């Protein structure tokens, strides 16, 4: 079974703090994704990586950066957390096979920025 793990289920941070969210997958997937999910807005793609050290902006990259130094690990960084970044963050991974490939999600990190 594919497993996608995220470093924390719940996080509470202060405005202005630097926040690291870690994601690890164990199935050698090329593609990894970071989404945030807010009520009524659905899943919104923040960043996407299709290979080590490669990244691509999603729909809402402002205020975020990412790092992919190893194939299995994809990190999301909030450079200076703000209250409007309070959200559920979901990591996902997928084989590079196009639309027929299933996407596997982690359990999510619920981040509260005070």
Partner 1 sequence: SQKIEQNSEALNIQEGKTATLTCNYTNYSPAYLQWYRQDPGRGPVFLLLIRENEKEKRKERLKVTFDTTLKQSLFHITASQPADSATYLCALDKTGFQKLVFGTGTRLLVSP
Nearest to 34 by CA among 51, 22, 19, 52: 22
CA distances from residue 71 to 27, 32, 52 in whole angstroms, order as listed = 10, 9, 5
Among 4, 21, 76, 81, binds partner 1 (CB under 8 A): 4
Pairing relationship of beta strands 87-94 and 31-38 according to DSSP bridges? antiparallel
* Subset of residues 43 to 72 that bind partner 1, contact rule: CB under 8 A: 43, 45, 48, 50, 58
Is 5 a binder of partner 1 (CB under 8 A)?
no
> Contact letters (x/-) for partner 1, 92-111, by CB under 8 A?
x-x-x-xxx-xxxxxxx-x-
Nearest to 63 by CA among 75, 48, 79, 83: 79
Q: How far is the CB of 43 from partner 1 (least distance, A)?
A: 4
Say how far apart CA 40 and CA 54 lie, in whole Å: 31
> Contact letters (x/-) for partner 1, 18-37, by CB under 8 A?
-------------x-x----
Residues of the shown chain interacting with partner 1 in the complex, contacts defined by CB under 8 A: 4, 31, 33, 40-43, 45, 48, 50, 58, 88, 90, 92, 94, 96, 98-100, 102-108, 110
């Amino acid at each position: 079974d594919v497993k996608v793990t995220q470093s924390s289920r719940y996080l509470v941070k202060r405005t202005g703090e630097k926040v690291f969210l870690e994601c690890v997958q164990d199935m050698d997937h090329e593609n990894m994704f970071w989404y945030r999910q807010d009520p009524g807005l659905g899943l919104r793609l923040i960043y996407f990586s299709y290979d080590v050290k490669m990244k691509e902006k999603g729909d809402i990259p402002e205020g975020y950066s990412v790092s992919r130094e190893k194939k299995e690990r994809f990190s999301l960084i909030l450079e200076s957390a703000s209250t409007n970044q309070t959200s559920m963050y979901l990591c996902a991974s997928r084989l590079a096979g196009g639309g027929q490939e299933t996407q596997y999600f982690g359990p999510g990190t619920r981040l509260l920025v005070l």
